[in-house]
Structure 1
Amino acid sequence: MSDIVSGDAELATRLNRHVRHRAPAAVALVTPGATTLAARAAALNSDFEIGSISKAITGLLYRDALTRGEIAHDATLGDHLQLGECSAAAVTLESLSTHHSGLPGLPPSFHVAKRTVALWRHGTNPYGDSLEELLAMTRDVRVGPPRAHYSNLGFMLLGHAIASAAGTTYDDLVRDRIVVPLDLRDTYTPATADQVRSDAVEGSGKSWIRREPWTGEALGPAGGIRSSITDMARLTAAILDGSAPGTDALDPTTAFGPRVGIGAAWITVEMKGRPITWHNGGTGGFRSWIGIDRAAGTGAVVLSATTSAVDRAGFAFLTDPGLDPSRPSR
């Protein structure tokens, strides 16, 4: 990985211009010559909730598991999770990885409305379920026809299935295959609120009600990972140079909408004549975005501790990095 320019003033100015709220936020730009970081109201190693960027990491782990031969290309959920004879047991991991499984976004027994009201009124974490509770809810799910449909449930099950195939837990799988090999020192998957670091960034909503951290064993593969801008920059650089596991997850294999392709979680669209591969994330108090321009060898990450979207800012950073190419990396 190229050297990190800590707290770059030029990038900090652009961060304030593109992400205008006052909550903690951070940005990373990875180019062939340098990795440049900036943060506001947070340290460069402060961990944020990255939300559904967790799915992008699960996509990497899925493709890595295929390469290792731990799962078959036609493997089903029932091959690796204790789901009995329910209809979800026959769903393939491949269909889960591209959001084409026929599973709903969440199981009906999740009581989405009740949990959402508690979130917006009191900042309550809606995702505290254990893996066993997730499996119990899944056994009652009715699988629909295969079609493009974004499913948090699908990625929760996918992550736990590939971890089971490797004989470990999802948390340990992330640690052993992503965190340790790539030296990501601030990336972890807390199952309970007391596992969140005491100096972690605290999220907020537009009403500025304090939000509980989104933790839960079940949630991990779909939205439970926390990370810092430094670690996300390292991950982005590793994806670009091929040292991250499962980087073929970025290759689109099927359509996910008009002129939109999807690989294993990673979405590809064309912008300014170039394919951009990306994923975003959102939790009760955070928004995040990661994007890769593989042809240009560049990447960008934006992390924010409020519920205001950062997708536009992320695309702006990536399609116009705005760095002086004559400036030496440090």
Structure 2
Amino acid sequence: MASLGAPLDADYEIGSVSKGITGLLYADAWTRSELGPDTTLGDVLPLGDCPAAGLTLAAVSRHTSGLPGLPRSARPWRRTAAFLLSGTNPYGETLEELLAQARTVQLSAPRPRYSNFGFELLGHAVAAGAGMSYRALVRERLAAPLGLTSIYMPATAEELGPRAIIGTSRSGRPRQPWTGEALAPAGGIRSSIGDMARIVQALLDGTAPGQAALDPVANFAGPAARIGAAWMTLRVKGRDITWHNGATGGFRTWTGLDREAGTGVVLLSATAVMVDRQGFRMLRELTERVT
């Protein structure tokens, strides 16, 4: 496990690796018979009869639901421009605001299309199926069983903890933290390197909830990459690597496993510079040492 230059108890935005956690909790809900592959968003969320209500959670978990990355009502182009110009948080919705967006969202053809919006809905749907909030779901079904002490989901910047690192752009300019109640399942979780290491160890030894999320069930954008519930599997130099990366305004994260070898790597960085290449290389080198 590796952290890039910060105290071990500092907490980082783990970005889209939050989707990997949501995938685990979704798969865990299956084992509890709270949800099934045919459960729809509308079965567990108050969406009425809008098109999004009929989407199965299975399709959302594989990014093949037809949901956009962000809905038009969220004005994604304006948000992106504000982020690029001044580093402001492009998210921040409440759960009620997220549901209002879902009731009016337009769907495209069901094909592989990465969707933050979809995973926001998926996480809150899984939590609703369990009769709790997403925060409580993470706390009770992931953090408590694995002894994690640093994971949390700030709804506002005021909820950041005392060890929260501020991310930076490639040039070193501070970026506003990405917070928001709605965002948590798709990119709003913060964690320390120690807790991320514990999650990876639990995934390798089989004690993490929702292990089935790691198992690929469909191709994603071609036969080279396959997807489970958020988690990607890629054949790299003759080995199957299960992984997910994360990117927010000032952070980059990479988590990867060689499940056959029993090895794993976590990289957390408080800068917008990508760390995927380093993650794959470190995992390969680690695996070569132990096999």
- How many Å apart are 1:146 and its aligned residue? 1.2
Whether 2:286 is the aligned partner of 1:316: answer: no
2:3, 2:180 → 1: CA distance? 30
What secondary structure, in the 3-state scheme, does the structure 2 residue paired with 1:172 have?
helix
The gaps in structure 2 that reach 5 residues or longer are: none
Q: Counterpart in 1 of 2:10?
A: 46
2:19, 2:151 → 1: CA distance? 14
Q: CA RMSD in A?
A: 1.3
- How many Å apart are 1:323 and its aligned residue? 8.7
What does 1:319-330 align with in structure 2 at a 5 Å threshold? Answer: 319-321=284-286
Partner amino acid, structure 2, of 1:230? G
Q: Counterpart in 2 of 1:307?
A: 272
- How many Å apart are 1:207 and its aligned residue? 3.4
What secondary structure, in the 3-state scheme, does the structure 1 residue paired with 2:145 have?
coil
What secondary structure, in the 3-state scheme, does the structure 1 residue paired with 2:124 have?
helix
Percentage of matched positions with identical amino acids? 56
Whether 2:49 is the aligned partner of 1:85: answer: yes
Q: 1:196 aligns with which of 160, 163, 169?
A: 160
2:208, 2:56 → 1: CA distance? 24
Q: What CA deviation, in whole Å up to 9, does each residue of 1:142-186 have, x standing for no partner?
A: 122211111111100000000001010111100111111111111
- How many Å apart are 1:109 and its aligned residue? 0.9
Whether 2:258 is the aligned partner of 1:293: answer: yes
Q: Counterpart in 1 of 2:240?
A: 275
Q: Counterpart in 1 of 2:145?
A: 181
Structure 1 stretches of 4+ with a deviation exceeding 3 A read 322-325
Which range moved further: 308-317 or 178-187?
Answer: 178-187
Partner amino acid, structure 2, of 1:127? Y
**Residues 99 and 140 of structure 1, relative CA distance in 2, 3 Å threshold:** same
Q: Who wins on radius of gyration, i.e. which is larger?
A: 1
Q: 1:135 aligns with which of 75, 99, 119?
A: 99
Q: Counterpart in 2 of 1:147?
A: 111
Whether 2:47 is the aligned partner of 1:65: answer: no
Partner amino acid, structure 1, of 2:284? T
1:219, 1:231 → 2: CA distance? 20
Q: Counterpart in 2 of 1:123?
A: 87
2:110, 2:3 → 1: CA distance? 42
- How many Å apart are 1:79 and its aligned residue? 0.3
Partner amino acid, structure 2, of 1:310? V
Q: Counterpart in 2 of 1:205?
A: 169
Is the contact between residue 283 and residue 307 of structure 1 (CA under 8 Å) also seen in structure 2? yes
**Residues 204 and 115 of structure 1, relative CA distance in 2, 3 Å threshold:** same
2:134, 2:26 → 1: CA distance? 11
Is the contact between residue 280 and residue 290 of structure 1 (CA under 8 Å) also seen in structure 2? yes
Q: 2:63 aligns with which of 65, 90, 99?
A: 99
TM-score, scaled relative to structure 1: 0.85
Higher helix fraction (1 or 2)? 2
Q: 1:166 aligns with which of 130, 142, 146?
A: 130
What secondary structure, in the 3-state scheme, does the structure 1 residue paired with 2:70 have?
coil
Q: Counterpart in 1 of 2:120?
A: 156
